[in-house]
Amino acid sequence: MKALISAGPTREKLDIVRFFSNRSSGKMGYALAAAAAESGWEVVLVSGPVSLSPPAGVRLIRVESAAEMAKAIQAEAPDADLIIMAAAVADFRPKQCCNHKIKKKPGNLLVELEPTEDILFTLGQNKPEGQLLVGFAAESEDLLVNARAKMRRKNLDWIAANDISRTDRGLASDFNAVTLLSRAGGQFEIPRGDKQQVAGKIIEILNRHIPTACS
């Protein structure tokens, strides 16, 4: 059984020295990869730039941009039994990226951003029979309503609702707390704990709901 997991931020280049990114540390995705590998999954981890060592027994594919992440994930997705998109993929990238350093000039610098591909949405559109697709919802308001809407819009089986308005958990923290929602109407509260504990519980719940999964 193959699990494909994404982690970390992406970097969207503005020029050869500058980029747009976000505060994701990659810790949640790496902890999920470790927990999945420990419970018997063959794990492929597609990771944006982070300062973490890959968990034992996991095949790591390093990427930088959302476009590179999309390419790596699309190559690995067709035979994956479980996909968890924990990466904080950039929604926009600079429309023009130059291959020199932008020089300082008087006045404002206007940067036009264009949308990146929504990797999870594309996966949902092309989901093979039997593949379990899991997303994360980073929300600062109306957590569960927004997370359920995201699960439907992206054709997911499960979504982990993450309250990013709190500073004691979530993005860039060592701790997290999530509500795991299923398309079938299930709701599981995973209380605040370190990301290894939260990841362990997410994998345990998913394993319990996959008939042929490793136990």
Catalytically annotated residues: 22
Smallest separation, CB 75 to ligand CTP (Å): 15
Chosen residue from 64, 68, 81, 91 binding ligand CTP by CB under 6 A? 91
| Per-residue interface string for the shown chain with ligand CTP, residues 105-144, x marking contact by CB under 6 A | -----------x-xxx--------------xxxx------
Smallest separation, CB 83 to ligand CTP (Å): 10
Token pair of 84 as six digits: 């968890």
Phi and psi at residue 117, to the nearest 5° = -70, 140
Beta strands at 158-163 and 175-182: parallel, antiparallel or unpaired: antiparallel
Name the residue nearer to ligand CTP (CB basis): 44 or 85: 85
Q: Residue 15 and residue 82: Cα distance in Å, rounded?
A: 36
132: Cβ contacts below 8 Å, ≥ 6 apart: 81, 82, 83, 157, 158, 206, 210
Chosen residue from 46, 61, 85, 180 binding ligand CTP by CB under 6 A? 85
By CB under 6 A, what part of segment 53-82 binds ligand CTP?
A: 66
Smallest separation, CB 121 to ligand CTP (Å): 7
CB 138 within 8 A of CB 162: yes
- What is the end-to-end Cα distance of the chain in Å, rounded? 11
Smallest separation, CB 156 to ligand CTP (Å): 8
CA atoms within 13 A on the CB side of 13: 15
Chosen residue from 43, 89, 133, 178 binding ligand CTP by CB under 6 A? 89
Smallest separation, CB 134 to ligand CTP (Å): 8
CB 117 within 8 A of CB 66: yes
CB 53 within 8 A of CB 60: no
Site size for ligand CTP, by CB under 6 A? Answer: 14
| Per-residue interface string for the shown chain with ligand CTP, residues 142-181, x marking contact by CB under 6 A | --------x-------------------------------
Residue with tokens 């890959």: 54
**Residues at the contact surface with ligand CTP, assessed by CB under 6 A:** 66, 85, 87, 89, 91, 116, 118-120, 135-138, 150
